[in-house]
Amino acid sequence: MLLVAGGCTLIGVGAVAAPTATFGVTALVLLTALLWMRPRLSLIAWLLSVTMVPYWVGVSQIVGFVPLAAVLGATAVLSAYLQGWWTPRTIDYAVATFIAGGYLAVAFGGASRAVWLAWITHWLVGYLVARAVGGSCDRDFLVKSFAAVMSLVGLFSSIEFLLSWHPFVSWYMPNRSFALWHPIQPRGEFERSEWAFGHSISLGVCLAMALPFALSMKTSAWVKTTATLAIAAGCLLSLSRAGLLSLFVTLALYVVFSRRIVGWTKVLCLVFMAAFSVSIYDFVQAWIADEADATASTQYRVQMYRELIGSMSIVGQSDAAISVGDQIYFAGYRSIDSAFLFIGLAYGWLFPVVLLAGIAAVACYMIFGSAGSEKRPAAIAILGTVPALSTVTFITQYQILFWFIVGILVNQILGVGRSPNSASIGRSRLPSGPENEYAIGMAESTNGRTDE
């Protein structure tokens, strides 16, 4: 683990100290060699690069800005593919086709090429890490790893807020992402916690998405409770309304679809959570004394939807787009605070419609499926983040982890992911698929040393 942390540090230092990226590439090669044949270590290293390294640390000389997490993720995915851990399935081609389809808007509709490249380096890489690397680990390990890392993020971001200590603001990088994301945003009299995520909303929503994973861990009650409280505290102290709303919605959905909480217990839990959520939200609003900002923010979003939603093209950039230097605004709005709306304005309404159809399919999967929240934390996380998708666009690590969770959900649907005891059990107890045929072979040839 120390070697992994050292490799990540070398890459970051190399990117800062050597713009030519020579040192960074060397460190990346060494890290790839270290992670070869180690899917668990690869997964943890990638999660740490996403959550513990500032978003603006990356490469910007090749195809626009590419964060360190995308570089490491792409390397891990390629390694998994070459080693036979993962073989693309039909749904993977469908996701790739959706992202590749964005180029139609670039080629024929005047859409931004730089933003579309971010679909590849952020969305596709995050999705493929879950499919290729996460799918090569057993499902319990994947859930525990994500929950554990995000609980650390919640703990550290809480400390950041309480001590007014922002450790990453001085991590300078000579790129536009540093200038855009490193400043700490205040709310009222307080400096919001952002940790390595560059924005408190990104931090808050990512923590909210991690909540069902913490609740679904197969571990002792005190570990599960500690992780859940750390995640909730970090989300609360981000002072992000979108994060808090997503947290409350996610928790409510988890209870609604739980197979362990039944009858009047479920009803009482929902009533208590509703009252508690309203109280907490009102307390935060009074605490930060920022009611005017909240009202103005709400009015801004309502007006934005009313004025812009009708200007979308089927495929291509909206006619309301205005170019100012290297920036694109829509009808004078400097910020489009909705993932659905921004994608529709920038690339055409066909793309958010496909996303909405996918979310509707996830809802049907939960409503009509036989398993509960405990077995499907990724589905709960996706449904719980719908309020955030409607009120904030994809930014920094939020977009990476959202698509990572989409990949986890696909793994769950396909039954991909070895059993924790795959080295010692027969073929009949492993899910079918190329990934697990490889797992069986590794188990037989290494006497159980399938990961490390």
- Please list, in sequence order, all residues whose beta carbon lies within 8 angstroms of the beta carbon of residue 425, skipping any fewer than 6 positions away: 419
Amino acid at position 40, single letter = R
Phi-psi region for residue 88, left (φ > 0), alpha (ψ -120 to 50) or beta? beta
Helices (H), 83-130: 90-109, 113-118, 125-128
pLDDT at 436: 41
**Closest by Cα among 153, 192, 169, 210 to 56:** 169
Residue 85 in contact with residue 228, Cβ under 8 Å?
no
Structure tokens at 247: 């947290």
The pTM assigned to this predicted structure is 0.84
How distant, in Å, are the alpha carbons of 51, 89, 225 from that of 115? 22, 26, 39
The residue count of the chain comes to 452
pLDDT at 439: 34
pLDDT at 331: 80
- Rounded Cα gap, residues 282 and 275, in angstroms: 11
Paired strand residues for 190: 187
Chain Cα centroid distance, residue 55: 13
The low-confidence residues of the chain, meaning pLDDT below 50, are 1-6, 10, 14-15, 17-18, 20, 419-452
Each residue of 20-57: pLDDT tens digit? Answer: 455 666 666 777 677 777 888 889 999 999 999 999 99
